[in-house]
């Protein structure tokens, strides 16, 4: 299920910024994936149409808090620094999946492994996130007489959370971002920043002390997830001879029905539709990065035989022609569109 490994994550350039606030918006899924500082990510757009992404983030000394909105369903392959812990809270139950596991209502996603992990997020996704250094989190836990459960954090998962506590967590983080963005906080003042960071760490610890969700699926689900992962790896690693679904079934020694059921269970789509969408996203990345010089070359490289059908599918997926994407990559293309705190859209972003 994963593309080739992403490179190691660098420390955020915002960590030493006295203001430590950032807002951004993007109309391109590839550009949006790079907007969240301190992360290494690759996004594949799964649903069709013109993409829109918005991001607001604030940094304290050893804690990052952010809110991200994406207009379309996205497959996110992510990595945080190995010395940090991430917690993700969707603003509403939306069927998001972490490593193929559907997050339950009032569930909170966590990961502290430092390895790549995958999120599948739906249309109109809205998520709040915390990234904290493991050392700061451990010190806060010790101060509370609480042991940090390293085993629980050794793999991406989700935890059940009390609905009332979940709602309070959402409101608290959204309020923190809103106050910082509207100039109502003293986040430039050292003492204020330390108090705010301590409050965020306390919140994160309260989540990590929650009981482990008993919604972890049975072994059969793990087998289906591995089957989907192997099928995706076969597709992404054989660009010169892309396997068909019958080829995949033969290589994986499973029936078409078994493969179909595995994809529907883990990613909520058929193998044909899901793998075609990943290939369309791969073409888009090649066009944007200049890896391929022509649309025909990029389409052929990723197994699209009919240019007319490819162009139609591409336009339906990304709301622009592949030639327009190629033109966006030429010199002079405008990249990320940073916003100032006074930008009117900010209020909508943080609400």
Residue 97 pLDDT greater than 90, yes or no: yes
Would you identify the CATH topology of the domain 219-328?
A: Arc Repressor Mutant, subunit A (1.10.10)
Residue 228 pLDDT greater than 70, yes or no: yes
Do 21-216+337-350 and 219-328 fold alike per CATH? Answer: no
**pLDDT score at 141:** 86
Q: Of the candidates 150, 170, 191, 169, which has an alpha carbon nearest to the alpha carbon of residue 60?
A: 191
Query: Torsion-angle region of residue 167: left (phi > 0), alpha (psi -120 to 50) or beta?
Result: alpha
Residue 5 pLDDT greater than 80, yes or no: no
Task: State which H helix or E strand residue 101 sits in.
Answer: strand 101-102
Q: Quick one: average pLDDT of 300-324?
A: 88
**pLDDT score at 21:** 80
pLDDT in tens, 104-120: 988 999 999 889 999 99
Q: Quick one: average pLDDT of 66-90?
A: 95
**pLDDT score at 317:** 94
Q: Of the candidates 268, 191, 275, 196, which has an alpha carbon nearest to the alpha carbon of residue 232?
A: 275
Q: Quick one: average pLDDT of 238-246?
A: 71
**pLDDT score at 177:** 85
- Token duo for residue 224: 């289906």
Residue 19 pLDDT greater than 50, yes or no: no
Taking 3-state DSSP, the helix, strand and coil percentages for the chain, each rounded to the nearest 5, stand at 40, 20, 40
Whether the CA torsion 7, 21, 59, 98 is positive or negative: it is: negative
Q: Quick one: average pLDDT of 121-149?
A: 89
Of residues 2 and 169, more confidently modeled = 169
pLDDT band at residue 340 under the 50/70/90 scheme: very low
pLDDT in tens, 209-220: 655 444 445 558
Query: Count of CB atoms within 10 A of residue 118's CB?
Result: 21
Domain ranges of the chain: 21-216+337-350, 219-328
Residue 16 pLDDT greater than 80, yes or no: no
Of residues 145 and 166, more confidently modeled = 166
Q: Quick one: average pLDDT of 226-255?
A: 83
Which DSSP symbol is given to 306? -
Q: Average the pLDDT over each of 22-26, 54-58, 235-239 and give the range with the smallest value.
A: 235-239
pLDDT band at residue 126 under the 50/70/90 scheme: very high
pLDDT over 70, % of the chain:
80
Half-sphere exposure of 38 (CA within 13 A, CB side): 30
* Selection from 61-75, 146-160, 161-175, 221-235 with the highest mean pLDDT: 61-75
Q: Of the candidates 38, 33, 31, 88, which has an alpha carbon nearest to the alpha carbon of residue 60?
A: 38
CATH class of 21-216+337-350: mainly beta
Query: Torsion-angle region of residue 98: left (phi > 0), alpha (psi -120 to 50) or beta?
Result: beta
Residues in contact with 209: Cβ distance below 8 Å, sequence separation at least 6, in sequence order: 146
**pLDDT score at 207:** 77
User: Distance between CA atoms of 182 and 50, rounded to whole angstroms?
Assistant: 29
Q: What is the DSSP string of 131-187?
A: EEEHHHHHHHHHHTT----TTGGGS-EEEE--HHHHHHHHHHHHHHHHHHHTT-S-T
pLDDT in tens, 246-281: 888 888 988 888 898 899 889 988 888 898 899 899
**pLDDT score at 42:** 95
């Amino acid at each position: 299920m994963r593309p080739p490994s992403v490179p190691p994550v660098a420390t955020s350039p915002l960590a030493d910024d006295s203001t430590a606030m950032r807002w951004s918006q993007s109309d391109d899924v590839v550009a949006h994936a790079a907007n969240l500082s301190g992360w290494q990510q690759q996004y594949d757009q799964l649903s069709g149409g013109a993409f829109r992404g918005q991001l607001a983030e604030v940094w304290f000394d050893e804690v990052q808090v952010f809110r991200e909105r994406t207009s379309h369903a996205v497959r996110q392959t992510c990595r945080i620094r190995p010395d940090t812990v991430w917690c993700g809270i969707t603003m509403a139950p939306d069927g998001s999946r972490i490593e193929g596991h559907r997050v339950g209502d009032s569930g909170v996603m966590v990961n502290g492994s430092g390895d790549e992990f995958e999120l599948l997020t739906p249309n109109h996704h809205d998520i709040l996130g915390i990234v904290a250094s493991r050392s700061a989190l451990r010190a806060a836990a010790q101060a509370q007489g609480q042991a940090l459960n390293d085993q629980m954090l050794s793999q991406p998962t989700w935890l059940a959370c009390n609905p009332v506590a979940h709602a309070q967590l959402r409101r608290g983080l959204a309020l923190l971002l809103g106050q910082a963005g509207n100039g109502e906080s003293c986040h430039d003042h050292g003492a204020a920043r330390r108090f705010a960071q301590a409050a965020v760490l306390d919140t994160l610890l309260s989540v990590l002390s929650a009981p482990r969700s008993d919604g972890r699926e049975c072994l059969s689900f793990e087998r289906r997830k591995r089957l989907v992962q192997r099928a995706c790896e076969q597709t992404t690693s054989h660009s010169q001879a892309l396997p068909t679904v019958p080829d995949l079934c033969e290589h994986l020694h499973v029936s078409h029905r078994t493969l179909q059921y595995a994809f529907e269970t883990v990613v909520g789509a058929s193998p044909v539709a899901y793998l075609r969408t990943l290939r369309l996203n791969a073409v888009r990345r090649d066009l944007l990065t200049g890896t391929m010089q022509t649309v025909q070359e990029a389409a052929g490289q990723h197994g699209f035989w009919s240019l007319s059908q490819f162009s139609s599918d591409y336009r339906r997926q990304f709301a622009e022609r592949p030639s327009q994407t190629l033109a966006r990559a030429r010199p002079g293309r405008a990249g990320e569109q940073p916003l100032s705190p006074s930008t009117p859209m900010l209020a909508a972003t943080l609400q």
